Amino acid sequence: MRYFKSLFLSLPLVYGIGIQTISAQRAVEYDRYFVDKTIRVDYVFSGDEKTSQICLDDLSALPHWAGRRHNLNKLPIAGNGQITMTDKATGDTIYRTSFSTLFQEWQTEPEAQTTARAFENTYLLPYPKEASMVTVELRNKYHQVVASYQHEINPSDILIHQRGNTHISEHRYLVQSGSYQNCIDVVIMAEGYTEAEKSTFYQDAERTTKALFAHKPFCEMKDKFNIIAVWTPSQDSDVSVPRNGAWKNTAVGSHFDTFYSDRYLTTRQLKRIHNWLAGIPYEHIIIIANTEVYGGGGIYNAFTLTTAHHKDFEPVVVHEFGHSFAGLGDEYAYSAEPSAQYPYEIEPWEQNITTLVHFDSKWKDMLPPHTAIPTPISNDPKKVYTKVGVYEGAGYSKKGIYRPAEDCRMRTNAAPDFCPVCQRAIQRLIRFHIEQL
């Protein structure tokens, strides 16, 4: 969806909409169903504008599980796709997660009207002790399931690749708050850095870390994170810019001009990303590109990818991580028409934008008494980033979609921080990862 591009115009406990509440079920104990390993599942999502298919590509075993050990059978947020793992013998739901994809965004592009394409997608699941069933669902902008696929994971299957036991990428901890079992583990990867530029990468990874923890609530919850810089060298320096005829041989094969949008920097080589990381405990990915060209992208539960040497690198990488880590939506608007991603009659699942269809599930509880809806712009510099309201213009549409504050890190590069609603959403997700709720 277009919010993945997230390049700003400035050059109760509720986790999602439309998800089933399963809080009445007993909590799943990690040690009962899983061992301390990861099953990496590679899928291919394919189709065109009107069709979607899911195929299993490969299974790999990784030597650690760095994901959450609490709230295993709950969804953090709805996403545009969901994965459910059940114990084959009992049918009990033992793990759930959600995601969004570049494939689903591509389906809104003109090319999808005449062409079918396939996209790699990779997800990390806890390694089951016994045979388990995994169901993958893709959902459209109306939150309707448009593709579903189920397959079995047999933990004793001899054809599950064993990865990460040898040839582990060089890496160093920039923040180490605790063990991988008890912290949220974020890797920072190099893209477009040659061997001669290794020291530059590590300096840029430090800058990335400082930028992230300069923002609330990350700075207030820094002790919940491990940050790991992973050296992933490229043969060529810089990254590919197709409009200039410049194609580079880089670590994860990223390029600008995704979907013919100049500033949209992404990669479709997701298996390559995860192959570099095998053997390192991780669950969230930031990729920094060795270029001065402005751009980037962030896809929920996939990756953040942005350029390290543009002057706006710091605010952009934090913004993109708001997408990939917390599933936050873009709060800017550039069209008077409804966007292709957000029908006015459907409440978005992102926690920081609303169509008011189910506003009770968003930040209604944070509104000051007698707040007007829509909320008029105050232009008070003391309140621009902190006064919670319902401001029209978000999700790329100037009408019918609303944001929580006049400005926010999810809206412009100039905003000094996330607005209070985004801060709460991020804080909730951090707690979801590390606490039993």
pLDDT for 10 equals: 35
Distance of CA 420 to the CA centre of its chain: 20
d(CA 198, CA 307): 16
Q: Which amino acid is at 91?
A: G
Determine which of 24-28, 68-72, 318-322, 415-419 has the lowest per-residue pLDDT on average.
Answer: 24-28
pLDDT 10s digits, 163-180: 999 999 999 999 999 999
Of 73, 66, 96, give the one whose Cα is nearest residue 225: 66
* Geometric angle at alpha carbon 283, from 282 and 286, rounded to 5°: 85
CB environment 65-97: b (16+ within 10 A), e (fewer)? bbbbbbbbbbbbbbbbbbbbbbbeeeebbbbbb
Q: Is the peptide bond before 217 cis (omega within 30 degrees of 0)?
A: yes
Contact 388, 368 (CB under 8 A): yes
pLDDT for 16 equals: 45
pLDDT for 15 equals: 39
pLDDT 10s digits, 253-288: 999 999 999 999 999 999 999 999 999 999 999 999
Split at pLDDT 50, 70, 90, the class of 25 is low
pLDDT for 331 equals: 97
Q: Is the pLDDT of residue 20 over 80?
A: no
Contact 310, 292 (CB under 8 A): yes
pLDDT 10s digits, 59-94: 999 999 999 999 999 999 999 999 999 999 999 999
pLDDT 10s digits, 351-392: 999 999 999 999 999 999 999 999 999 888 889 999 999 999
Instruction: Output the average pLDDT for the chain.
Output: 93
CB environment 392-405: b (16+ within 10 A), e (fewer)? bbbbbbeebbbbbb
Can you read off the two tokens belonging to residue 287?
A: 């990729």
